[in-house]
Amino acid sequence: MKFENIGFVSTRFAGIDGVSLEASKWAEVFEQRGHRCFWFAGKLDRNPEKSSLIHEAHFQHAQNQWINNEIIGRKKRKPSVTELIHALRSLLKVQLKNFIDQFKIDLLIAENVLAIPMHIPLGLALTETIAETDIPTIAHHHDFYWERVRFSMNAVNDYLRMAFPPNLPNIKHVVINSVAQEQLALRTGITSIVIPNILDFDNPPPVDIQGTHAFRESIGVEPDNIIILQPTRIVRRKGIEQAIELIKKLKDPRYKLVVSHEAGDEGYEYAEWIKEYAFEQQVDLRIVTTQIADPWINNEKNQTEYSLWDIYPHADFITYPSLYEGFGNAFLEAIYFKKPLLINRYPIFVKDIEPKGFDLVVMDGFLSKKTIHKVREILESREQREKMVNFNYNVASRHYSYSMFQSKFSGIINDFLGESEQQLSSTPLNKQSVIYLKNRSIPSTINVFA
């Protein structure tokens, strides 16, 4: 059994959200080893020839938004809501089976769509499809509904138990941190493997000098300005007010705070407050309003003006004062581009990342005088910066590289192959078994990335 054609499924693979970025990295590893990757979602910036774009699968589709308004924050579900959920489920189920058949998918990778219930009908449709086709599936979970306060009261607990996530024998579950692994087992009895976020630390990032200078000019930053980069979306849990507070206390007009992602997924109220707060604190805030591309996607038809990789090279310092993260893509990206950073000790950082021994400026929910002094010291000392960032790059290379991912993923694939062999050897050879064996061979040894 060779997993030649791999199908990624989610509500969205577009832009630079964490799920889209991590899926792109996984796909890059697979394609480097001869696999073909295909995409199913409600919003896509992938190659159309390898994609199935189904607008009803997007979490912002009008019908799905109406469903979410009727089920989140409520205890009772109206019959009309149930009817629409199942109508969409039926539609999406047909589209998923068409996707599998059209691209001859051997292995499905469900990217967060079976973890966070942003799209109940799609989660149900995918669960039923996986159960009915028995297709090998990896459920890659980035964050679960029990981690988000807004899902604590809902009218769909029956569906959450069924599909978020489902407990099926042909699904292998992957989580991005050890806390999620523990909670998944405690709440559902489902076992999982931890694969943290990754980057290609064996190959330093390519830098487009022309593109990076054009980006700097586009946000109106002068040559002598110092860029403090907040490389996150504008949502409450990112703690952007702490970055504003830091720049205020550094008391240097050359420092400019640049936020690389716009608001949108969780509303605009916090974004408006951040703008007002920066103005009140007399901090020069620049929010990138142009669409920023995923650096792993090379699709001319969907090319945006700048890539995420055009932003990092000009940053002098990174702020990452998040209150909570499933892992922390921006943390890894800062290390990858050899940038010093300030990080808040959010729970996953404390449990999974901090023990690795990185050299960072850390804060515990507030900015102390000691922390501000250390940031200033690093900004003013080239020697100290270079020592710090080179050390961090070497640490990350050992723990968050593509090589680490390949090793763990090979283990998952070997589990699938082992279960298939065991099932065949323990099943009496009836007529159907003989036909199966004639048409599908499973070698005893296999290079899963061949």
Banded model confidence at residue 376, pLDDT cuts 50, 70, 90 = very high
Query: Could you read off the pLDDT of 213-264 as tens digits, one per residue?
Result: 777 777 888 888 999 999 988 888 899 999 999 999 999 999 999 998 766 5
Look at residue 267 in the predicted model and tell me its pLDDT. 62
Q: Which amino acid is at 132?
A: E
Residue in the block written with tokens 């669960």: 127
**Under CATH, which number does the domain 209-399 receive?**
3.40.50.2000
Look at residue 388 in the predicted model and tell me its pLDDT. 97
Give the count of alpha carbons within 13 A of 85, CB side only. 22
SS3 413: helix
Query: Could you read off the pLDDT of 31-50 as tens digits, one per residue?
Result: 998 899 999 999 999 999 99
The neighbour count for residue 352, using CB atoms within 10 Å, is 19
Banded model confidence at residue 311, pLDDT cuts 50, 70, 90 = confident
Q: State the span(s) of the chain assigned CATH 3.40.50.2000.
A: 5-195+403-439, 209-399
Whole-Å CA distances, 96 to 54, 58, 125: 9, 14, 8
Give the DSSP letter of residue 447: -
The neighbour count for residue 132, using CB atoms within 10 Å, is 10
When pLDDT is averaged across residues 51-67 and rounded to a whole number, the result is 97
Of 449 and 362, the structure prediction assigns the larger pLDDT to 362
Banded model confidence at residue 335, pLDDT cuts 50, 70, 90 = very high
73: left (phi over 0), alpha (psi -120 to 50) or beta: left
pTM of the model: 0.84
For a pLDDT cut of 70, what percent of the chain falls above it? 88
Rounded Cα–Cα distance for residues 351 and 194 (Å): 13
Query: Could you read off the pLDDT of 181-203 as tens digits, one per residue?
Result: 999 999 999 999 999 999 999 99
Whole-Å CA distances, 252 to 179, 260, 287: 40, 21, 19
End-to-end CA distance of the chain: 12
Domain 5-195+403-439 falls under CATH 3.90.1580.10 = no
Whole-Å CA distances, 280 to 236, 273, 277, 285, 407: 18, 10, 5, 11, 50
The token pair at 353 is 């990342």
Rounded Cα–Cα distance for residues 348 and 435 (Å): 50
> Which residues have a Cβ under 8 Å from the Cβ of 25 and sit 6 or more positions away?
197, 198, 199, 200, 296, 402, 405
Any bridge partners for residue 307, and if so which? 293
Query: Could you read off the pLDDT of 151-170 as tens digits, one per residue?
Result: 999 999 999 999 999 999 99
Q: Sort 253 into a burial class: Cβ within 10 Å, 0-12 / 13-18 / 19+.
A: exposed
Give the DSSP letter of residue 135: -
Look at residue 103 in the predicted model and tell me its pLDDT. 98
